[in-house]
Structure 1
Amino acid sequence: MNFKSPVFLMILLVAMGAVVLFFIFFYSPSDNIGELNVTNESTIGFQNNSEVIYTSCLDYIDKAKCEEDAYNVSSNMCSWNENESLCGLKIVEEKEKFYDLEAIEFVFTKGACTSGYNGTCELTISAKARNIGTKVIEGKFFSSFVDLDLDSLVDIFPTEGPFYPGDEKEFSYVFSNLSFGNHFVRFRVDTSYQVGEVDETNNELVEGVNLP
């Protein structure tokens, strides 16, 4: 047979065309190829790296999905409305911010003492001011120690803002030759009432010590 003859080439082309038509009309690939499993189930939202991403709370169609933290638009921001049977953003009431200072940790530390009837002792006093409010104190306020026996100011300390919520500042004073006997000292935060606080009753502490 002459493989280069026009008749042979025509027969070959017809045979190849028949094979192509067979695959087009009669062969359909399987829906399952290897590990790939294609289903017709629809998913709310869209997929990114095999994770479902919800674009808004209203994309949830049932209570369970609405309350499931793993699928929330923003962590724990969606809630189910029983009356309307829909999922919406939680309405969080923002509490009003406030100022509040507190006097804490008033400590007396006794040092060396001299002997005799007119003996004296060294005494260190220390205390802290703490911002327990929710607002930053931007301005200046003062704290003080007062000798209650003499009704006299021992020392006063300025604090410059910003003084943030949770911030603490320590103040101390050293009596170098305090006489023997009982002594009482008051520590007060915001001595001149420059900060408009929600509670002024926690600004003051009084402590006493007996020397020697």
Structure 2
Amino acid sequence: MSLLIKYQDSDCLSRTDSHTFYLNTGVSKPVVKDNGIRPSSYEKMAKLKPAFIKPHGTITAANSSFLTDGASACLIMSEEKALAMGLKPKAYLRDFVYVSQDPKDQLLLGPTYATPKVLERAGLTMNDIDVFEYHEAFAGQILANLKAMDSDYFAKTQMGRKAKVGIPQMEKFNNWGGSLSIGHPFGATGVRLVTTAAHRLQQEDGQFALVAACAAGGIGHGMLVERYPS
């Protein structure tokens, strides 16, 4: 049975259209942009000290996803149920997988492990995907995943696979911004990824989207989303 996803007021998460502002008591002005975004320069960012492995670490406040406030809700049900309730579906959830790996040597490489598994379950390849939405924990984490996905050696020695899955086409990858640029609300990032993927499929006239994320160091998730007919 195919499942469908419907988002209540989901445009707020992925579009630049004007929306009604909601003000709390005592607040005179609406919030129009995230306060975590700060204009800077490469020179200033290069001076930041590493957060973890000092003094030679690569992770700083400038190349990490910043925490933002957020919460989300998503309705997932069968197509028959959605139509019976008078709801217009946003997209099909065709398949999903969860994977795990050793966080000591393969920290945050969940997308590398999840991507080929969910593609194989659906009988698809990377070339069949029109939209990629990957969670960005750190800039280095994304780069490490891309490198691992493009490595036959890693696929054979670490994953027990015959060949690499390959990297996403960059012109299809996180085109509307990712966690590094727009923040990482722990309570909303998952729905934000899927919502953005569903809207991109509509606006970019695509059929399939691949959503992937790492979590808790050694966990990964992959999801295949298909555009719902207009």
Higher-Rg member (1/2): 1
Select the structure with the greater relative contact order (CA < 8 A; seq sep ≥ 6).
Answer: 2
TM over 0.5: no
TM-score by length of structure 1 reads: 0.21
User: Quick check: which one's helix share is greater?
Assistant: 2
User: Quick check: which one's strand share is greater?
Assistant: 1
TM-score by length of structure 2 reads: 0.20
